[in-house]
Structure 1
């Protein structure tokens, strides 16, 4: 038995522990700091962030998930909120900032309830009731659209692009994106976004971005003697080297007679020539090889008038197979005329000083390439991110066939309906349901703030109009007026909103359940600095 007054040490000295309200306060603070970081990027008038890593590389963007990925975040609660953004990006491609901002506001409202001595479990129950109601009401206010409604799909793409660096060319980009997504729809009406390749080259304005109905490979011919342009191409895809194979085991060949050495070299040459003859015999006039091509084999291929490219990425090989109908062959001996794919044109062209291979006019182009242009590298990268987001939202819309208005309209309407629903909830959960409704209004409020408008006046105006006139009224950030977002063409897929609200709520609930944080310090090499892995739990961002 310990003597009276002697402390009982359970944890080692390099471990910090935060219990109860302290733990909750620290986690909520960390989550809110992350939300505040990306909040100013929301909407068409959102600002950009410049991120500089420890190597001096610069990223300029207002894409929520890119900002959060590039930030060196230490705090575990903050990392959980970054997971929300990553999930949103993976599932729908857009709405990452929305998801994180809602999560941050849900945490702020939860903190207010905790200060009023409402138990975390009651807050969580209230949030779950409100979430269920929100998802029901979202389904009710969603508008059905047909997958072949091209004009509406373009509006969805333009909404996703607006506010990003590519905004000035959004109409041209929207056309390119919608055509690309509609090209890769499979027979079940699903869209495989991996079949849309985004190839980037700086040195031209954004408006020069184009869609290639086929595949662009960032490689050049292996030999300048090969044809630059092949029409009516018969394409072989090889997943094996066009080289003399080395022996499986370490072997040493000793040659005493010079004539034997010549024989040995001639035999190697003969094997390479046979390989090229096999390819030529199938009728192939273009070869894409995933592995290497021997210098001598290059010479024979050039003599045979075959255009060859080596070290092609696996993902590009798969896209070529989809676009041309070719089969990827792992042994040249197995190559038959039936394995070849077809394309109207295979050509090497110079883009921004670099040679690229264009495979175009494919019979059934189930893989396409968007060649993204930008005047500088940073502009081009931001355009590519905007295109990637827009591809995600157009794909979601085609698959689900449901959209909602933008401009904060669904959030204001949901908040109104959830407040009405709160009146039917008994007990302290009612407070949490109302807090959930208030938290959703952070989106229109932030849109107003980022546009230089008065957030309180804007929100009051929006609420009043929603009580009277309808569910699609939102904030036009350019005029400050409340307008019908559907008529203005500001629309988003239903899935963007549902996913954002679900992931924000679940992350908030997970953080609220934590009442004890036990954190070990960093390893010895960092101990001298006095840093702990939790950044002293105060949010070392």
Structure 2
């Protein structure tokens, strides 16, 4: 099977999947024994005339999969392609870093722990803790609202269920509106994404607080200069 006008990107993918090594056209002048070193393997290679695609199946190199995305219009195709790429990236991260319960259950469990710390805090710091708690409740609140349920009611149900059972994987099943174990119904998130999101949120909040402090100090120094000039 000879294929013409193949993009370099597709050639590299085919080589990776089959375990072959790419060679220039001039390399074909090498001896048969030398060319054997560049060859790969695939259980099946065939030309799909209907889709105008060449399929390379069960290669001897790096495992790969191809997802075909189609729709009636180019706009819808673009949106579906974006969703497919996000899903593939989520699967890759899940395999690499593991998974945690989804549906906002983990954030809500963290919020409950943070609320316990708040009891011993006074002053403006307590307000900061309250902001963190509210932010951690937002993911589940938004998910529930998007499903057409009352966020306040459902969050109260989940908080009570988590506290009563000690299971942090409880959240709202958006199909039924009932409290369910996210691990049991297969709603999970990549652990790396959750960790990164929480760290990024903390870093942004810290940066904002530092900026506010710098501005405040500058204002104080400017006020002193005005007072001195008045004297």
Describe the SS at the equivalent of 2:115: helix
Query: Structure 2 vs 1, CA of residues 308 and 457 (structure 1 numbering), >3 Å: closer, same or farther?
Result: closer
What residue is the counterpart of 1:124 in the other structure?
none
Contact 2:170-2:182 at 8 Å conserved across structures: yes
Deviations 1:142-187 (A, max 9, x none): xxxxxxxxxxxxxxxxxxxxxxxxxxxxxxxxxxxxxxxxxxxxxx
* 1:107-156 residue CA offsets vs partner (Å, 9 max, x unmatched): xxxxxxxxxxxxxxxxxxxxxxxxxxxxxxxxxxxxxxxxxxxxxxxxxx
- Match for 2:104 among 408, 413, 419? 408
Structure 2 unaligned blocks of 5 or more: 216-231
Name the residue aligned to 2:176.
479
Q: 1:342 to 1:462 in 2, by over 3 A?
A: closer
* Residue equivalent to 1:459: 155
Tell me which of 14, 29, 36 is aligned to 1:320. 14
Q: Look up the match of 1:398.
A: 95
- How far residue 485 of structure 1 moved from its aligned partner, in angstroms, is 1.8
Give the TM-score taking structure 1 as reference length. Answer: 0.35
Following the alignment from structure 1 to structure 2, what is the Cα–Cα distance between the partners of residues 308 and 350? Answer: 13
d(CA) in 2 for partners of 1:416, 1:395: 30
Q: Distance in 2 between matches of 1:429 and 1:513?
A: 14
Q: Distance in 1 between matches of 2:170 and 2:41?
A: 51
CA separation of 1:427 and 1:492: change in aligned 2, threshold 3 A: same
How large is the RMSD of aligned CA atoms in angstroms?
2.7
**Aligned counterpart, 1:506:** 203
Structure 1 match to 2:137: 441
CA contact (8 A) 2:40 2:60 kept: no
SS for the counterpart of 1:407 is coil
1:273-422 alignment, distance < 5 Å: 307-310=2-5, 312-330=6-24, 332-333=26-27, 335=30, 336-352=35-51, 355-401=52-98, 403-422=99-118
Which is higher, the Rg of structure 1 or of structure 2?
1
Secondary structure of 2:148's partner? Answer: coil
Aligned 8 A contact 1:323 1:368 in 2: no
Decide whether the 8 Å contact of 1:349 with 1:356 is kept in 2.
yes
1:359–1:487 Cα change, 3 Å:
closer
Counterpart for residue 494 of structure 1: 191
- List runs of 5+ in structure 1 lacking aligned partners: 1-229, 231-306, 518-541
Cα distance change on mapping 1:425 and 1:346 into 2, 3 Å = same
Which structure's residues are more often helix, by fraction?
2
What number of residue pairs does the alignment pair up?
208
Question: Which aligned pairs between 1:196-211 and structure 2 lie closer than 5 A?
Answer: none
CA distance in 2, matches of 1:382, 1:483: 30
- Residue 226 of structure 2 corresponds to none
- Residue from 126, 135, 144 that aligns with 1:430: 126
CA distance in structure 2 between the aligned counterparts of 1:345 and 1:465, rounded to whole angstroms: 53
Query: What TM-score do the two structures reach when normalised by structure 2?
Result: 0.76
- How has the CA–CA distance of structure 1 residues 361 and 400 changed in structure 2, closer, same or farther, with 3 Å as cutoff? closer
